[in-house]
Amino acid sequence: MGSVETTKKPHAVLVPYPSQGHVTPLMRLAKLLHAKGFHVTFVNTEFNHKRLIRSKGPESVKGFDDFRFETIPDGMPPSDKDATQDVPRLCDSVRKNCLVPFKELLIKLISSSEVPPVSCVISDGVMSFSIKAAEDLGIPEVQFWTASACSFIGYLHYRELIRRGIFPFKNDDYLTDGTLDKPVDWICGMSNVKFKDLPSFLRTTDPNHIMFDFMGEEAQNCLKAPAIIFNAFDEFEKEALEAVISKFNFPNIYTIGPLKLLARHIIPESQVNSLNSSLWKPDSKVFEWLDQKAPNSVVYQQFLWIVRPDVVQGGESAMLPEDFLEEIQDRGFLISWCAQEKVLEHSAVGVFLTHCGWNSMMETICAGVPVIYWPFFADQQTNCHYSCEKWGIGMEINHDVKRDEVAELVRKMIVGEEGEKMRFNAKEWKKKAEEATEVGGSSYINFDKFINGALHYQG
């Protein structure tokens, strides 16, 4: 795959949704494009720009001559908290307030003699205001759906759920009357699913619920773009990807993941750790602790627990008994943030307990590590279903959490036959992910097509 000619650098403007799980894959893509000869403008919200500076220092947003950071306001009240903003309010504010400042930024970049002409916009799939801005200015635009393709299919059916009179639910009885366990056999691209396996934002009794409307409409808006890219590989999400093409008559999709593995062949080793997008400062002491542990042992007698600062106020010791840290000192380790993908690659890690977000799913596949799932919201329930039923790499915790049940589940995953089978499956998926991202693999070829096709589409 040849580099883009540097004498006339194409200029890509990337705009992620302002939370860590979206900034991370957009930054990976930005670095891949930069390595291929693109001038990159990475657009954070003013709030997240300040968080990056607090996390990594002013140098973290200086970039290079051909990789620059810009900001737009998100329309939310000013705040200096190092925390993820209120999700429903942020989503509502973004779609109402970001179009004008983003379009003004594009006009500024177009008019600047210091950067190449803007040749494309790559937007987070839930920042669809960028489609309108790019269209008004005659700039090619591509959507990057940063979650799973299977969840994308779920959201694309939100209008059909309304049309059938299913959603919104009439009252809260659906939580206990068995409704969530009823099969849904009419969604193209999602076989053997139940209502509980659909993205959680589709569960509501409020017809005006922000997230119910926001996610459904943003998914629909993606179909207005010339192309959509996914951080996945063809074999992993084959059923959902084929449904996007056939049911929604949208052939212009590019599977270019896992982005982490694709980067092996494109980003120079000297630049792999540059331009870190973490909004929290990782604690490197975790690796000193892991180095002392036996292979495949952690999360059994030994465990590593990441307690993110904005999830539990007061730090990693908040809401825990005073003697807890003393009690676990020989078998547990608590920190506030870590370089997760590097932790998963450590030989001591035997099982990954996760909420099942898509970044975590791709990182555990890249590491070949089996999973215990405890999904929380959004696409996590869908990812959990596919991981357990189709990919065969993990088990789900009963949400009515009981100590003995969790202990038995962990035991099965670490030393049981079921866990051994899932560990085998995880390693097999890792091999397939590596094959897809090797030179000549499907994701590698798709990235080439994406650069040479979608980013030069003129509509």
CATH of the domain at 226: 3.40.50.2000
pLDDT at 4 over 70: no
Residue 174 lies in a domain: no
Q: Is position 352 within any domain? A: yes
Is 255 found in the same domain as 379? no
- Answer for the pair 414, 400: CB distance below 8 angstroms, yes or no: no
Residues 361, 318 share a domain = yes
So what's the pLDDT on residue 325? Answer: 67
End-to-end Cα spacing for the chain: 25
Q: Kindly indicate the confidence band of residue 403, based on its pLDDT and cuts at 50, 70 and 90.
A: confident
pTM for the full predicted model: 0.85
pLDDT at residue 272 greater than cutoff 90: no
pLDDT at 188: 84
Pair (442, 326) in one structural domain: no
pLDDT at 191 over 80: yes
Distances (CA, A) of 158 to 192, 203, 215, 379: 18, 10, 9, 14
Same domain, 224 and 340: no
pLDDT of residue 116: 93
Q: Residue 30: its pLDDT value, please? A: 94
Domain shared by 425 and 342, yes or no: yes
Q: Is residue 450 part of a domain?
A: yes
pLDDT of residue 86: 83
| Least confident residue range of 39-53, 96-110, 380-394 | 39-53
Residues 409 and 448 grouped into a single domain: no
Q: Are 118 and 13 in contact (CB under 8 A)?
A: yes
Instruction: Give how far Cα 228 sits from Cα of 1, 63, 141, 195, Å.
Output: 21, 27, 9, 26
pLDDT at 1: 47
Residue 171 lies in a domain: no
Question: In the beta sheet, which residues pair with residue 45?
Answer: 72
Q: Do both 244 and 377 map to the same domain?
A: no
Q: What is the pLDDT, as a whole number, of residue 7?
A: 45
Q: Is 400 a member of any domain?
A: yes
- Pick the range with the lowest mean pLDDT from 262-266, 276-280, 388-392: 276-280
Look at residue 36 and tell me whether its pLDDT is greater than 60.
yes
Shared domain check, 449 and 420 = no
Q: Please tell me the distance from the alpha carbon of residue 48 to that of residue 151, in angstroms, as a whole number.
A: 26
Question: Are 319 and 450 in the same domain?
Answer: no
Residue 454 binned pLDDT confidence (cut-offs 50, 70, 90): low
Question: Region 361-388: what's the mean pLDDT?
Answer: 90
- Number of domains the chain is built from: 2
Q: For residue 424, is pLDDT > 80?
A: yes
Are residues 263 and 293 both part of a single domain? no
Whether the pLDDT of residue 330 is over 80: the answer is no
Is 167 part of a structural domain of the chain?
Answer: no
- How far is the C-alpha of 300 from the C-alpha of 349, rounded, in Å? 10
Distance CA 244, CA 181 (A): 25
Mean pLDDT for the stretch of residues 49-53: 77
Give the Cα separation of 394 and 375 in Å (integer): 12
In a domain, 172, yes or no: no
So what's the pLDDT on residue 71? 93
* Number of Cβ within a 10 Å radius of residue 162: 16
Average pLDDT score over residue span 204-228: 91
Report how far apart, in Å, the C-alpha atoms of 180 and of each of 46, 103, 372, 394 are. 40, 42, 21, 21
Give the residue-averaged pLDDT of 138-163: 93
Active site residues: 22, 124
Question: Are residues 87 and 59 both part of a single domain?
Answer: yes
Confidence of residue 274 (pLDDT cuts 50, 70, 90): low
| 94 and 241 together in one domain | yes
Of 63-67, 78-82, 146-150, the poorest mean pLDDT is in: 78-82
- Provide the mean pLDDT of the chain: 84
- As a whole number of Å, the CA-based R_g of the chain is 22
Q: Report the pLDDT averaged over residues 14-31.
A: 91
Mean pLDDT, rounded, for 17-37: 91
| pLDDT (mean) for 96-107 | 96
- How far apart, in whole angstroms, are the C-alpha atoms of residue 106 and residue 125? 18
Query: Of the candidates 182, 18, 33, which has an alpha carbon nearest to the alpha carbon of residue 84?
Result: 18
Indicate the pLDDT class of residue 335, thresholds 50, 70 and 90. low
Instruction: Let me know: does 338 contact 280? Beta carbons within 8 Å.
Output: no
Which of 311 and 432 is assigned the larger pLDDT? Answer: 432
Q: Is the dihedral of CA 28, 334, 354, 302 positive or negative?
A: positive
In a domain, residue 269? The reply is: yes
Q: Which domain holds residue 36?
A: 11-151+206-278+436-455
Q: Supply the pLDDT for residue 316.
A: 46
Task: Give the residue with greater pLDDT, 274 vs 230.
Answer: 230
Q: Check whether 215 has a pLDDT greater than 60.
A: yes
Q: Which residues are 354's β-sheet partners?
A: 373
